[in-house]
Structure 1
């Protein structure tokens, strides 16, 4: 009987710790809201989209992908370049502002045009504040471009993805 009581008390004592760990992992979300990313355009109803309009912060997938949807079939419309995305006019540099609805410890942020990594910003394994901005040199590209931004999480195998359509020049 004592072994059962000890097991029950131990389980009850550890349960809150498991809830905190699981909630922390599941609640981290973020996206670029300025210039408006594709999911921000969906949320603002600038472009007609599916479920992403209700949760623009939820484009999460395994690290290392190069898709706007983060490999999430539920948000596949973000990968469709013909959907009518509005491109924001910018010069040779642009500042991207992330909004976090629940922060997660960060490895880094990465910014790509095509397969070219334009900038990587260390997250110092820390939780970001509710907003973070990065200024990115866009190099020698011009015209309409799709920039992929990736927020790599420090303590999971996942990342958050955001594509921003730009008119550079």
Structure 2
């Protein structure tokens, strides 16, 4: 945890220093989901191993915004098309990622931790459909076409810890995946987080 804390502080410091050279870094916002716990966060916690670089920077899964019309390519959604984070796309046999136990229709507080805040357009949460195969990397045709929860960012800078109350989708059972997308207001990018869930 100490290493991770230092890295977070380093990311913020590097961000502040990099404001003068934004051309080299198109977005200085970073964040990851802590509820439901994302694959990136499980890697950072050390709960799962063989995670590669993502264990040091769970906040960095950044890709073009506009999902599902744009954004990371199919099969590489959880890693945001970053080759260094490819472990996030690995389904690990369909049962290798820890799950968050949830219930369809329940009130749920979705949480993000932001290591660097940025003006926000919206937050969206997608869930997998009946076409989902947990043993295969995530593709768009495995997701319901519309998010089950959308939160307007109001073009405002959010706090470092964001909580959003919504309702888990009904009619789901067994192992599924929730894709959270944080869309930044004044860059071309968004942040993507995959969380494995079990609806029981």
TM over 0.5: yes
- Per the alignment, in what secondary structure is the counterpart of residue 51 of structure 1? helix
Superposed counterparts of 1:51-62, under 5 Å: 51-62=53-64
1:101 aligns with 2:132: no
Partner of 1:121: 151
1:44–1:142: structure 2 CA closer, same or farther, 3 Å change rule?
same
Q: How far 1:136 moved relative to its partner? A: 3.3
The equivalent of 1:73 in structure 2 is 83
CA displacement at 1:38 relative to structure 2: 0.3
SS of equivalent to 1:36? coil
3-state SS, counterpart of residue 147 of structure 1: strand
RMSD, aligned CA: 2.1
Tell me the equivalent position of 1:19. 20
1:58–1:145: structure 2 CA closer, same or farther, 3 Å change rule? same
Q: What stretches of structure 1 of length at least 5 have no aligned partner? A: 1-15
Of residues 109-118 and 143-152 in structure 1, the stretch that sits farther from structure 2 once superposed is 109-118
Give the match's secondary structure for 1:95. Answer: strand
- How do 1:130-169 and structure 2 match up within 5 A? 130-137=160-167, 138-169=169-200
Structure 2 gaps of 5+ residues are 1-16, 129-142
Equivalent residue number for residue 34 of structure 1: 35
Normalising by structure 2, report the TM-score.
0.70
Q: Contact 2:27 / 2:187 at 8 angstroms: preserved in 1?
A: no
C-alpha displacement at 1:47, in angstroms? 1.1
How far does the alpha carbon of each residue in 1:118-169 deviate from its partner, in whole angstroms, 9 at most, with x for none?
1111100111001111233222111111100000011111100001111113
Q: How many pairs are equivalent? A: 153
Instruction: Output the TM-score relative to the length of structure 1.
Output: 0.82
Larger-Rg structure: 1
**In structure 2, the residue corresponding to 1:40 is in which secondary structure?**
helix
Partner Cα distance (1:86, 1:34) in 2 = 13
